[in-house]
Structure 1
C-alpha cells in the first residue's frame, strides 16, 4: 500500500476510540472546505500509533473540534480496499465549548433559526472571501459554529479563509454597521418598567370612584347629567351619586 505525505483540516466527527494495541487511537475526520456543500463533505478515517497523540485524542478532544492533521495517507492496493490517514501530529485549531451530556427527558431545542443564521453568515463571508485580487492567498481563518455543539451540530460549523486585505475591509464594514446601529433610537421594551407598573397600580388603586363620578357630574351641564350618569354606570357599575334619585340613576 502506497503512503503519501498528507495534511488535512477538518472536524472530529465522532469521539476517538482506542486502537487494537496500547498507545493507538482511531477517529473520523470530516473535511468540509468553505466552498463545498454538505453532500461534498468527505469523511476520512484516521489512526495514530503515537502514544502521546493517542492519549490527547482519547482524553482531551471531543466531536466538533477543528483539527489540523499531518501524516501519511495510505492508499488501498485494490479497488475494493480501504484508505486511511496515519497521523503523526494533530493540532487543535478550535475546540468546542465543554458541555454536559444531554438529558434523556429534556425537551428538544429548536435551533432552526440559529442554524439558518449561521448558514447565512457563512455564505455571505464565503462570497466576500472569494472576491479577491488574482494571486492573493488567504492567510486568516474565520471559524463559525454554534455554542455548546456536539457531534450532531458539526454540519453547522464552517471555516472561511480570507486574505489580510479582505479582513481589514470586513472590520471596517462591521465598524460602520455598529456606528449606524448606535445612532438609531433604542428599541421599545416589550413590557413596562416594573417601577412604572407599580406606580400605575398604586395610582388606580387610590382612586375613589364615587368622588371621581361626583367630580365629573359637577362639571357636567344639568341637561346632560342623566346621560353622563348612565354612561358612568355602564363603565363602573351602579355608583350612588349625591343629589340623584335612584329612579334617575
Structure 2
C-alpha cells in the first residue's frame, strides 16, 4: 500500500526531497511535522497509515511522510523508503521502557537496501518534561557511535514549542563537501547546467537563425535573451520568441 501511495503521489505532485518520519506511537511525529508545515503546535491524533505534507525549507522543496508508529503499522514502514535518502527517527525521551524497541527499529532502518545511502536524524523529543532522558543518554542507549555507514545526528527537541527542530533539520539537510548526490548540491549543479545550456541555446539562435535572416538584430537580441534566461519560467519561450522576432523583422 505504501509503494502504491508513493507512486501515485510522485505522479501527480512535483518532485521534491523525500523525508520519512518514523518513530513509535506517541513519540510526537505528527506534532513535529506540523511544526515544520505550519510553524505551530496542532492537536493531533494517532496516525493511521501515513500523513504526507509538502513545504519549502531554505531552497529545498521537501516532501515529508509521517508514518504511523503503532506496532501493527511498523512492518509497513519499509514500503515508503524507496526514493528517500533522509530519515527522521523521533524518540520519546520520557519512555525508557520502549527505547530498546526504538533501537531495534533504528537498526532495521539502517539495514534497509532502499536506505543504504540515507542520512539519519534522531530527534530526542519531549526534553521539556522533567526526568526525561538526556540526549547523551538516548545516544548511548541507541549505541549511535557504532553507526559507521550512515551519517547521523541526534538533536534534543520539544515538539510542542518547536525548540530544536530547526537545528535538527538543518543538520540533516546540510550537505557534506564530498557528497555530490545531496539535493542541495544537485540543485546548485542543475542551476549551473541550465544556465550553461541556455547560453549555448542563445548563441545558436543568434548565429544560426537571426544572423542570416535579421542581421540588424544580432547586436541587440543576445543581451535581451541573456536577461530572459535569468527567469526560469521564460526559458521554454526562447525558440518561440526567436520565431516571432524573425517573422516581425521580415515583415517590416
Q: TM-score, normalised by structure 2?
A: 0.23
The structure with the greater share of residues assigned to helix is 2
The structure with the greater share of residues assigned to strand is 1
* Rg comparison, structure with higher value: 1
Q: TM-score, normalised by structure 1?
A: 0.24
